[in-house]
A and B are shown apart, each in its own frame.
Chain A
């Protein structure tokens, strides 16, 4: 009992949360190797878990217990409502931060520009701290209305603001090597890229679904499926245009989109228009948001997944991990996390290259054996990306951060002293210390 690590796992845990689902699986696996508690600020109903679940309010006395824990894990994503409490605790009680998104700009913009803690000057100040005068100017212009909000454009990739969330972290987890590199450029502590898991339970369920009969469509079309909330960066409009421009291709497929979309937004209207004017060969259906069971059914019967991201602002793709579990080909763009997967386990084209996408799709349609081969490789990858591997990766990172935390907290102390001295971040002393002394601290 005393040898076991005591870990506090902070996460959204309500039933709608994908990060919650991630936590449910991974924390449970981690719970076999350590004593894990789940801490959430969400109200019930929660996801099911055999681990103790503790409801917390930020600032409450109970949080002082965290000092007794050997490690604290904070799951952060880009949505303030789900993560505000977690973020606030993470500043008081340093721990391991898991960055589920590449960009946390929306979270901080909401935090500083709206609601109880609204304080626009802080937005400008923090943009300056992380991105220099350029960042500060952009922030000022946004606040004056002279510029499109950063969080509404691709610019958000240049000012991700995740740096704000890891300032006091002891260690950081990313879900792609690319993002890990980015973090290492700006942050001195231990960083691990861990592969987002494909849940064992999903793999098992997927395996069972092969056994069931899936009726072919009467017209023999191959079933394409895109899952998840229909954001413009999923390029659903691009897929539809691609099919429309090539009737001979459109004729071969039935494309379904299983994810929420509002027909009242301009994007929703655009999509509806595209389909309405699509022509007789086009078979596209928007299923909207499905129940778990119905979604399961759709996934099980799909032949090919279409999982595009451009621009790629997520850390990795939970939907992808689910799709891989089903052992079917996934069509995607060769960027970000998708580029890091094993070469031939998915079907990749350069971002935005719909001509190329059409060609690869045609290839798959003409070659069922190829689809099967790719699918097998996809399933193998899914098996590798297990909760158990993730949990082990976390434990290794915790050990490394314990070793390095003395050095990190020393640098924090020095940083604090330099802060009291009013040392501007642009003075070379920071680099001098980082370039020279950080090596002594093994950082």
Chain B
């Protein structure tokens, strides 16, 4: 299994790789993990891409599974790619403030090389999977490549159990702008029931945390909103989900549905998300297994109140959410048989 990673930075990209390695080993395969250090600095791109091309792992294994870009540049006659995302600065984020490559001749040459490498080397894979439809669509649009969606499951779902619902909704996630915890806090001011909101996660951006606190203070929401601006233990998280009415996941235009969504569904809890949240919409269906609202505080408050007002509905949606996992075949059995098939 080949994965690129950034040393000394914890990232979600590593979780999927180690979960996959475990799943493969549990099914009797021998897995060697190739973790390739990678810097995303634009002017170091070309040499790193060439380095990966020079590395020969053909003798090492029967199958090579590549994950994070540009590990798919590795050569192997039996290569399968589980494509998580492009180097987006060279693709859809080119021309936006998130463009991480300068628009100089050199920068453009690097951008073009990234695209050329993807176009040339992705097709070397016997099978190409993506972790969401959105990413698959981008592969088609930018690289003219077909792929199959293969949803990443949770590594250890057993701890996400169901308990009787209390009166709060829970939003576990790193606290930063595009996760929109602010939306949840503002919604608290419009609640008409006694529903509460619990937010937990490491604040990546201290300024953002200040903003959240300011809004809570301004609208005197201390009783409504509980802020846990820290990393929480997986078990603590599972417990908080278990007793919640439902889970919030409100990112802005994220590619994939997020592990939070899966955690909620494993615990048979409905998910509230926004119309512009992106990947969550691939498995959250409004009124079926959760609620999809417009990204404004009032709409969000109404959704939360709805869960508070009808525990039955909430329970039914939660159960449907659990069934969604099987319906979309979000399982390691599926992942392993797809990747190795």
Mark A residues whose CB is within 8 Å of B: 402-407, 410, 413-414, 429, 432-433, 436-437, 439-442
Contact = CB atoms under 8 A, between A and B. Distances in A.
Contacts of A407: 46, 109, 113
B142 to A, nearest CB: 16
Contacts of A440: 49, 113, 116-117, 120
A413 to B, nearest CB: 8
Interface in B14-67: 46-47, 49-50, 53-54
Contacts of A403: 105, 108-109
Interface in B96-138: 105-106, 108-110, 112-113, 116-117, 120
Contact of B105 (A406, A414, A433, A442): A406
A442 B116 contact: yes
Contact of B113 (A413, A436, A441): A441
Contacts of B109: 403-407, 441-442
A410 B47 CA distance: 8
A410 B46 CA distance: 7
A405 B109 CA distance: 8
Contacts, number: 43
A434 to B, nearest CB: 12
Contacts of B116: 439-442
26 contacts: A402-B105, A403-B105, A403-B109, A405-B106, A406-B46, A406-B105, A406-B110, A410-B46, A410-B47, A413-B47, A414-B47, A414-B50, A429-B54, A437-B49, A437-B50, A439-B120, A440-B49, A440-B113, A440-B116, A440-B120, A441-B46, A441-B113, A441-B116, A442-B109, A442-B112, A442-B116
B53 A436 contact: yes
A437 B120 CA distance: 10
A432 B56 CA distance: 12
A426 to B, nearest CB: 18
A406 B111 CA distance: 11
Contacts of A441: 46, 109, 113, 116
Contacts of A439: 116, 120
Nearest to A410: B46
A410 B54 CA distance: 15
Given A406-B106, A414-B47, A440-B117, 4 more contacts: A406-B110, A410-B47, A441-B46, A442-B112
A48 to B, nearest CB: 35
A439 B119 CA distance: 11
A405 B105 contact: yes
A320 to B, nearest CB: 37
The 6 closest A-B pairs by CB, nearest first: A406-B109, A406-B106, A440-B117, A440-B116, A410-B46, A402-B105
Interface of B: 46-47, 49-50, 53-54, 105-106, 108-110, 112-113, 116-117, 120
B11 to A, nearest CB: 26
Contacts of A437: 49-50, 53
Contacts of A406: 46, 105-106, 109-110
Contacts of A413: 47
Contacts of A402: 105
A407 B117 CA distance: 13
Contacts of B120: 439-440
Nearest to B117: A440
B105 to A, nearest CB: 5
A407 B110 CA distance: 8
Nearest to B107: A406
B285 to A, nearest CB: 42
Contacts of A432: 54
B280 to A, nearest CB: 35
A407 B46 CA distance: 8
Among A429, A432, A439, A441, the most chain B Cβ lie within 10 Å of the Cβ of: A441
Nearest to B49: A440
Among A403, A404, A406, the most chain B Cβ lie within 10 Å of the Cβ of: A406
B73 to A, nearest CB: 9
Contacts of A429: 54
Contacts of A442: 109, 112-113, 116
A433 B54 CA distance: 8
Contacts of B46: 406-407, 410, 441
Among A403, A405, A410, A429, the most chain B Cβ lie within 10 Å of the Cβ of: A410
A437 B70 CA distance: 14
A403 to B, nearest CB: 6
A407 B114 CA distance: 12
A404 B108 CA distance: 10
A142 B105 CA distance: 46
A259 to B, nearest CB: 46
A313 to B, nearest CB: 36
Nearest to A436: B53
Contacts of B113: 407, 440-442
A402 B105 CA distance: 7
A114 B236 CA distance: 83
A132 to B, nearest CB: 24
B41 to A, nearest CB: 14
A418 to B, nearest CB: 11
A414 B109 CA distance: 16
A436 to B, nearest CB: 6
A439 B112 CA distance: 11
Nearest to B109: A406
A442 B116 CA distance: 8
A135 B92 CA distance: 51
Among A414, A440, A442, the most chain B Cβ lie within 10 Å of the Cβ of: A440
A437 B50 CA distance: 7
Contacts of B50: 414, 433, 437
A441 B117 CA distance: 9
Contacts of A410: 46-47
Nearest to A402: B105
Nearest to A399: B105
Contacts of A433: 50
A410 B106 CA distance: 10
A432 B110 CA distance: 20
A176 B109 CA distance: 29
Contacts of B105: 402-403, 405-406
A175 to B, nearest CB: 27
A405 B193 CA distance: 65
A156 B105 CA distance: 39
Contacts of B53: 436-437
A402 to B, nearest CB: 5
